[in-house]
Structure 1
Amino acid sequence: MRNFLYASLSALALMAGAASLPSTAFAEDWLETAAKPFEGSEINVIFLDRPGYRAIIELLPEFEKKTGIKVNYEIVPYENTREKQVLNFTSNGDLTIALVDLVWIGEFAENGWITPIEEFTSDASITDPNLKLDGFFPLLLEAFGSWGGKTYGLPFDNYSGLLFYNSCQLKEAGFDKPPATWDELLKDYAPKLTDAGKNRYAFALQSRRGETQSADSFMRVLWPFGGSLLNKEFKSNLMSEGSQKGLQFRQDLMKFMPPGIVSYDHAEAVNALAQGQVSMITEWSAFYGTLTDPATSKLGDCLAVAPEPAGPAGRLPALGGFSLAVAEQAPDDLKKASWLFIQWATSEEIARPYVEAGGVSGRMSIYEQPDIKAKYKFVEPMVASWQKGVPEFRPRFPAWPAISEVIAEWGTKMMLGEVSVEGGAKEIGTRMEDILGKEGYYDGKRELLQ
């Protein structure tokens, strides 16, 4: 299958150079000057209840003081975020900024709900002279903000799948390092780290029905085992040897997970590790702040971070994250005010305070700082994963939301034992191909790959 994210990196680099204005030292009064025509404006955005959003909320008073622009935000559970935004866009609502997940970019762009940034970068009066699109990790800018050769959003809340583990519990079980492979985790580590009588388990895989089940659980076990959701003809590849091995591995690992794992979202998985109930989780880099906060975690110096384990197909960590884009439905003045906020929230200028407040910046330069690399254990494995990543970890095409619902339903049934791995894979494949057929992927009405 051709590469979803890397295919246009060369074009992206050229576009980034064209879109960025000449780089200069950041002028302290640039934002204030640009914002004067919009003083008193109010812009609206949806945030999640996650560390990156709490970090930007902490910094918001600085933006509002500088600009006189009020940022109204609503905190919404991830599982409801896409639906709430789509309803707002289709009813010409009040959102002026779109929060765009990696897998929503195709849908949002093709429906005309978000505005290409070239509409704003061509206007020097509202564009940071130090915008530097080439300062973002290329993988993130392409994956989270770009579609069809255009950039729509800037990377804001950025994730790499990492192995977080309790080094003290591993040491007590006789291990001086984390498992290098999924096979080691299952066969060597999991039995020694699990004691159901004491409510202690080796691993927790967030698997709540919804996007958490489809992306964070189901898709996570496909690629490392040589599987994939689709083949190059956009037909189901879930009956392949690699896909079946990965899905069966998940079933085998469940005996070393807490009861009710199918109801675990991110918060539950992170809390299980933080409170000592489980020894290992594979979670997004953005949760590092939660796991190091004494108010929410008992781990202390026992917290350690490593890359996700490797499978038979190699080390293929999960990739996830969001961009902030201007909503097409917004009036012109609020579009411009929203663009000012998006630039500020993703800028190199606030990358350090954002990271120190618990966010994960998409800017390369912040992770080159020696003190940042020394202080935050997640930086090295995260940055390494962003050099390569898994381009097709989750398909970005517009049909993904409908397919995600199918995977969530039948992936959950698999885990609960209501259907076999083979039976569930067949059911997902049939329903997925029906969705893609109706969407025009098989009759030439729609391009297969972006």
Structure 2
Amino acid sequence: MSLSLHIESLYSSAGWRQNVRLKIAGGRIETIEEGVLPEAQDEKHKVVVPALPNLHSHAFQRAMAGLAETRGPGSDSFWSWRELMYRLALRFMPEQVEAVASQLYMEMLEAGFGRVGEFHYLHHDSDGGHYANIAEMAERVAAASVETGISLTLLPVFYAHSGFGAQLPTPEQRRFIHSVDDFALQMDACRDLVKRLPDGRLGIAPHSLRAVTPEELHSILPLADGGPIHIHVAEQTREVEDCLRHLGRRPVEWLLDAMPVDARWCMIHATHMSEAETVNLAKTGAVAGLCPVTEANLGDGIFDGIRFRNAGGFYGVGSDSNVLISVADELRQLEYSQRLGERVRNAMALPNQSTGRALFEAALAGGTRALAGLKPLEAGSMADLVSLDLSAAPYLRGDQILDSWIFGQGVSIDCVWVNGIRWVSQGRHHQREKISRNFRTAMQELLQL
């Protein structure tokens, strides 16, 4: 399949480019011409930007969105939310996972995300036993990515313990748990699965230092086979305190000392780091995987974004618990958290730089690195594109477009292409009715309505 797009204003890492023609073949950008008039066969668009990577998602948790906002009898926290999540996780059947993931991935595309990093840990049957196909649940996630068109970086999770010190898993965690040997079998099956996906990628995800012992972490790292390595780290102050007691160091400090952390690693959340950890993590080239909407929803805390940026750190954004799916909301929440914490404006921008552009550019670079994607909008890269509708604000130009999309009004999603295929037109996914119908059925079954 081939097509040509003529774009009046195209955002790339080199800045805004005017009157650009993209020729696309086999899902990739074949040629880029700048300063040219449209030709008869060109599909014409006003403004196009790269699709943003969503570097951290738990697809099944989309079923909880909006349903965990009633306060319990005591104080609520991440830990009380987690108990609700565990109870829901025990109810899922494979076809319900696929229906919920499809709804989620459709929403991601409609929001302007083009690739998702699925931190996948709902592995087993409801009794904790393996399915006959050990990758049954991973195949359901992959099927959802194919149905919706989003590119998938699959990150199977190794989860073995309920807490530091190799504590036995709780009964509520039984669908997540692997031995090292079983996880190797899971990875073999997922490797075959990802090969069949359009532009699929595979990495590994040791869940967290509380769920994986140092010995187990060393054992599973070779299974990444050069792919990304994602891990939850320093999301909660209690986690930091427990890590100090059991490992003698703070979580990020321990990882930097004990593991070969480099640009393949993505530290999910990394919320509670010391100043030294923040600077030293930035030096490794690892990505800080920030999930600002979820972190705010769960009351996690505020990432030390200004210090990390000043140290040259890479960061990207993900939707994590998927309570809300929005490129603009994730980037805006990140910026506003810094403003509230530091009592300044335009916190994540450099002097004389648009904050919208600074955020979008950083999330694009960090997300691409974290998910092993190709550098966007170059000849040979995948054609993962978003056209923006400025009909309500035709006066916007250049960086004003990104600023208004993230912080204001007047900019919305029009079309989205992934691998050169248009999946979204006029802001709606082409399979929205079918996908949403299946999602509603799955939710009625899960909630027994």
What TM-score comes out, normalization by structure 1 length? Answer: 0.27
Structure scoring higher RCO (CA < 8 A, sep ≥ 6) equals 1
Give the TM-score of the pair, scaled to structure 2.
Answer: 0.27
Of Structure 1 and Structure 2, the greater helix share is in: 1
Say which structure is richer in strand: 2
